[in-house]
Amino acid sequence: MNDEEKDSLKLKNNIVTLDDVDLRILQALQEDSRQTYTALGERFGVTHSTVYDRIKRMEEQGVIRKYTALIDNERIGMRMITALVTVYTEPKQTEKVAERLANYPAVSEVYTSLSDEFIIIAKVFAPTQESLHDFIANSVAPLPGVLRIRTSIVTKKLKETLFSIYHDSKEHIYNKEHLK
């Protein structure tokens, strides 16, 4: 193991610090996790063993939690209704309600937010409007601490991607050209 590899993945205040090569490897894996260590090494000017060692350490440190396949449900005939469900809660119950929602298979994402009210936003999938209604009426509404629910059914998906953790210094998250 060379000095470059030893410097990779330092812990500071229980936070893993990553160097430029680590970040580029992570971005490449987000784009396509089936790339070979050799291909990644060639792309970033390091050996395949360096890529292998860095990926293994990032897995061991919990930086890389899992590998998964993104499936196009419509392509295989699974037409699902996607709904963003906003759940308004009693302040002391927000975390408990959010944890319960996170355990339902129909729920893919759960976020909590505190603005002027305590709210939970959940992304829910259902095969029909009736099953969506049943889920909300029978599983969400009865939870202790739920005050009210607002459901927004997604009618068109314009973009759905993972957030890329690596941004080159020449790039900007908010490009002014996109705002025109």
Q: Beta strands 107-114 and 118-126: pairing type?
A: antiparallel
This prediction has a pTM of: 0.70
Rounded Cα–Cα distance for residues 55 and 51 (Å): 6
The whole-number pLDDT of residue 164 equals 67
Domain 78-153 - what CATH class? alpha beta
**Mean of the per-residue pLDDT values for the chain?**
85
Q: Which helix (H) or strand (E) holds 88?
A: strand 81-89
Per CATH, which fold does 3-60 belong to?
Answer: Arc Repressor Mutant, subunit A (1.10.10)
Same fold: 3-60 with 78-153: no
Tens of pLDDT, residue by residue over 157-171, are 888 777 666 555 444
3-state secondary structure (DSSP) of residue 78: coil
| pLDDT for the residue numbered 59 | 94
Answer whether residue 64 shows pLDDT above 50.
Answer: yes
**Is residue 111 a contact partner of residue 84, using CB atoms and an 8 Å limit?**
no
Encoded amino acid at 64, one letter: I
List of residues 6+ apart from 79 with CB closer than 8 A:
73, 127
Task: Give the whole-angstrom CA distance, residue 140 versus residue 123.
Answer: 13
Q: Is 45 left (phi over 0), alpha (psi -120 to 50) or beta?
A: left
pLDDT of 178 reads: 44
Report the amino acid identity of residue 145: G
pLDDT at 167: 54
Pick from 29-33, 44-48, 54-58: least confident: 29-33
pLDDT at 11: 63
Distance CA 158, CA 91 (A): 33
Number of Cβ within 10 Å of residue 36's Cβ equals 11
pLDDT surpassing 60 at residue 177: no
CB 144 within 8 A of CB 138: no
Condensed to tens digits (0 to 9), the pLDDT of residues 84-143 reads 999 999 999 999 999 999 999 999 999 999 877 899 999 999 999 999 999 999 999 999
* Domain positions in the chain: 3-60, 78-153
